[in-house]
Amino acid sequence: MILMKNTTGKRIWIVKNDSQKTAVIAAELEQLCRAAGFVFDEENPEIVISVGGDGTLLTAFHDYERQLKTVRFIGVHTGHLGFYADFQEHELEQVIETIVHEKPSQAFKYPLLKVQIKFTDGRVKTHLALNESIIRRASKTLVADVKISDFLFEKFRGDGLAVSTPTGSTAYNKSIGGAVMHPRVRAFQVTEVASLNNLIYRTLGAAMIIAEKDTVAFDLENADDYLLTVDQLEYFYDRIASVTYSLDGGEIAFVNGGHTGFWHRVKNSFIGEVK
Ligand code: NAP
Ligand code: MN
């Protein structure tokens, strides 16, 4: 049976996706939260519970990306085990127990990617990415001078370039041949999307792991059809002069209580049983 013991009055909010299965699980979770004495506070929660998939946690993150110093996240997956969604739907009582006992000082923190766009007219815009940010063009070849902390490294030609956080390494990054990184490694990575390589054009042709201290910039040629993604969000921009990436976007905090180690999750998601 669930706690009727001394409750904490912690301020929580639930972010969910719109699947029917999630609706059932979220309703059950909501009841348990009330029974545990949590206070529902959409504006200023201490803990945001995401119910759905990893994508739902990304949504929750962007909903609260201006409150990251005071918010801690916890994810419930209403399917298979997720990367950010560490609990499964049959573990709701454990979710409550975990929230009751968690302390801010024990939260797990992971670095975020700062994405700074400079437009040709001098304007600057900043985004934060939890998984990755990808720059592409709608149809033509993207051409970019790739600079690592101002050092001109290569001229990239191809479909696009993806820059991923450690926790984002298992997402889009992995699909395009990037390395899976343990999230305790403080570094980020640049991965090519369909680079052109022939006798005239030359890129490294491998994913690059960038040290935390460095920045990566893509100086772009003048074009009006750039598409920039930041996790699940899409921005259509014209006249971008450059995009600069760094791992100093602050951190996301997760409630301490996750019970599945990183490589277990990787195996669980991508390998399955070893025969
Ligand atoms: P989605 O199309 O539902 O996501 C694609 C898949 O990526 C889903 O299975 C999602 O898990 C999973 N995913 C998300 N973050 C992950 C992570 N850090 N590690 C491992 N898997 C992860 O779109 P979405 O749910 O809004 O998520 C957006 C993210 O999806 C993007 O940031 C991008 O990384 C990824 N994506 C990947 C591809 C690809 O690999 N070709 C294509 C598009 C988008 P859930 O089912 O649990 O949500
Ligand atoms: Mn999804």
Per-residue pLDDT of 166-181, as tens digits, reads: 999 999 999 999 999 9
Q: Give the separation between CA 178 and CA 171, rounded to whole angstroms.
A: 10
Per-residue pLDDT of 118-134, as tens digits, reads: 999 999 999 999 999 99
Which residues lie below 8 Å from residue 22, measured CB to CB, with a gap of 6+? 16, 51, 52, 56, 78
Q: Give the separation between CA 73 and CA 3, rounded to whole angstroms.
A: 21
Per-residue pLDDT of 52-104, as tens digits, reads: 999 999 999 999 999 999 999 999 999 877 899 989 999 999 999 999 999 99
Asked if the model's pLDDT at residue 5 lies above 80, the reply is no
Query: How crowded is residue 25: how many other Cβ atoms within 10 Å of its Cβ?
Result: 21
Which alpha helices (H) appear in the chain, and where do they start and end? Answer: 20-35, 54-63, 92-101, 172-175, 262-266
Q: What is the pLDDT of residue 7?
A: 58
Question: What is the position in ligand 1's atom list of the atom closest to the CA of 231?
Answer: 32
Asked if the model's pLDDT at residue 230 lies above 90, the reply is yes
The confidence band for 235, taking pLDDT boundaries of 50, 70 and 90, is very high
- Extents of the domains making up the chain: 11-110+251-270, 113-246
Over residues 227-246, the mean pLDDT reads 96
Asked if the model's pLDDT at residue 2 lies above 70, the reply is no
| 113 close to 165: Cβ distance less than 8 angstroms | yes
Q: Give the separation between CA 135 and CA 133, rounded to whole angstroms.
A: 7
CA-only gyration radius of the chain, Å: 20
Could you tell which of 18, 110, 172 is best to mutate to test the pocket of ligand 1, judged by most ligand atoms within 8 Å of the CB? 172
Percent of the chain topping pLDDT 90: 90
Tell me the ligand closest to 57's alpha carbon. Answer: 1
C-alpha 214 to ligand 2 mean position (Å) = 31
Report pTM: 0.95
Specify whether domain 113-246 bears CATH 3.30.420.60.
no
11-110+251-270 against 113-246: fold identical: no
Q: Looking up tokens 């390494």, which residue turns up?
A: 169
Q: What architecture is the 11-110+251-270 domain classified under in CATH? A: 3-Layer(aba) Sandwich (3.40)
Q: Give the separation between CA 194 and CA 162, rounded to whole angstroms.
A: 11
Per-residue pLDDT of 14-57, as tens digits, reads: 999 999 999 999 999 999 999 999 999 999 999 999 999 999 99
Distance of CA 77 to the CA centre of its chain: 16
Distance of CA 147 to the CA centre of its chain: 23
From 5-9, 105-109, 199-203, 236-240, the region with the lowest mean pLDDT: 5-9
